[in-house]
Amino acid sequence: MSLLRMKPVALAVAGALIAVGVGADQATKVWALNRLTRGSIDVIDGALTMQYAENRNFAFGLGESLPVWLRLGVVVALTLVLVGLLLHSADLGSQLGFGMAIAGSIGNIIDRVRLGFVVDFIYWHGGFRWPNFNVADMLVVCGVGVLFVFAPKQKAQSSPKAQDGARP
């Protein structure tokens, strides 16, 4: 039995999802670099602004005291763990969640390698203030959300009681 639980078609779909996610992230960051460095754009007055920012740390400014090479190494290692989990996942929900999270992670890795920082440009300040973020960050958060939704279902399906058809 192969350690790879994904079927070839699912693997191709996951690869396409990752490519589209990385492409969307990088395209929006190119736009942000070209347009938002000249000034911010109010999308929803008093709530949502497209505003250029450079993030040299992890989320919420974490990791500021770590050397750049170590921050990059941690992100690459976590991404490789996600790839391993994706390749060993058998259900569509997990594959979707891991694929989205991997796409976001790769998008931010590209920035770190190419620019030395991550381009952030979405600023939510309606009702509460949130640090600037980008499409890659949304992919990671949504991917983790999908995993939370599907993880309990997968666990219930793989338990011995669920396999025997026994009811609690």
CB–CB of 138/104 below 8 Å? yes
| Half-sphere exposure for 50 (CA within 13 Å, toward CB) | 14
At residue 121, φ and ψ (nearest 5 deg) are: -150, -5
Integer Rg of the chain from CA? 19
- The residues annotated with a catalytic role in the active site are 120, 137
Sign of torsion over alpha carbons 60, 66, 69, 74: negative
